[in-house]
Amino acid sequence: MHHLVTEQTNSASAEIDTLSTLQIVELMNQEDQKVAAAVALESRSIAKAVDAITARVATGGRLIYLGAGTSGRLGVLDASECPPTFNTPPSLVVGIIAGGNKALTNAIEGAEDDSAAAVSDLQSHEFSSRDVLVGIATSGRTPYVISGLRYAQEIGAYAIGLSCNPHSELDLCSDVVIAPVVGPEVISGSTRLKAGTATKMVLNTLTTATMVRLGKTYGNWMVDLRATNIKLKARSIRIVSSITGLSEEQAAEQLNQCNGEVKTAIVAAKRAVEPQDARDLLTRAQGKLRDALKTTTLEGAKPST
């Protein structure tokens, strides 16, 4: 592994143990500034991946993350944040980590080398040709991830490889490879640092851009959020109020009439129709709020009272 960029020694931190606390912090910050630039260089590959994910999800497929260690944990994290943010079912974006859920908080020795486990893990999730797999391997050579990507291609699923090393083994088993090269870590080989940050940025972009393309936002408003706590309920009211022009009290009442559904409340208010007719307009517009606000009113729709 000595040839991997992520395993190289960083000359800037060669004497990090002799630095003051402030100097260590400043050094790490300087290194972290390289991450965004590295991700930016992968914009075209990321966009290609987003288009593939969007197309598959729009026709009934799912997005599955597969990784080991830090990579696996980041995949599970991103997947777990989609339901409250975009009101997606938990089965739509799924994170699988080598070694199972126990590996989320404990290192499972040898799990990343278990090639057979990747296939069985995917099969246990009923992974199919309709789905997209994002195999996350900072090194680009993790056997667990390589095996999963190969299986994805074998069954006709779309395979996306995510690594922080160029020209890796992922290239041979992926339909598209995203490889932000962030350079050697401040602590040699500790890829939870810059590589982990780059991975998180890429995963954020994959799901967020996909959800935008699927109509889960209106402008930059989170109109498909699931209001499961006080903060999110308050946010729902602000969103409805801002888009419709209703007072916050009126917006709260509109949401109450629409079972807390932000998009339904907005369409009902803006189009002056009953909640069910608003839902029908959204269905006709494939869930895209902007289109639902422009479509012709449904025949027989009742004005709201």
Q: Domain residues of the chain, as ranges? A: 5-213, 230-292
Rounded distance, CA 221 to CA 66, Å? 30
| pLDDT for 301 | 57
| pLDDT for 225 | 86
* Cβ atoms < 10 Å from Cβ of 102: 11
Map tokens 């027989």 to a residue: 300
Q: Do domains 5-213 and 230-292 have the same CATH topology?
A: no
CATH topology of domain 5-213: Rossmann fold (3.40.50)
Rounded distance, CA 295 to CA 297, Å? 6
For 148, the token pair is: 């999963």
Rounded distance, CA 157 to CA 21, Å? 48
| pLDDT for 94 | 98
Question: In this structure, what are the phi and psi dihedrals at residue 225, rounded to the nearest 5 degrees?
Answer: -65, 155
CATH topology of domain 230-292: Helicase, Ruva Protein; domain 3 (1.10.8)
Residues labelled catalytic: 81, 112
69, 107 Cβ separation under 8 angstroms: yes
Q: What is the pLDDT along the chain (305 residues), one digit of tens a residue?
A: 557 887 788 889 999 999 999 999 999 999 999 999 999 999 999 999 999 999 999 999 999 999 999 999 999 999 999 998 999 999 999 999 999 999 999 988 789 999 999 999 999 999 999 999 999 999 999 999 999 999 999 999 999 999 999 999 999 999 999 999 999 999 998 999 999 999 999 999 999 999 999 999 999 999 998 888 999 999 999 999 999 999 999 999 999 999 999 999 999 999 999 999 999 999 999 999 999 998 665 555 555 55
For 98, the token pair is: 């080598």
Closest CA to 262 of 254, 270, 250: 254
| pLDDT for 90 | 96
Rounded distance, CA 51 to CA 53, Å? 6
| pLDDT for 14 | 92
| pLDDT for 299 | 57
For 133, the token pair is: 């797999």
Closest CA to 223 of 173, 155, 168, 270: 270
- State pTM to two decimals: 0.91
At 201, the amino acid letter reads M
| pLDDT for 7 | 76
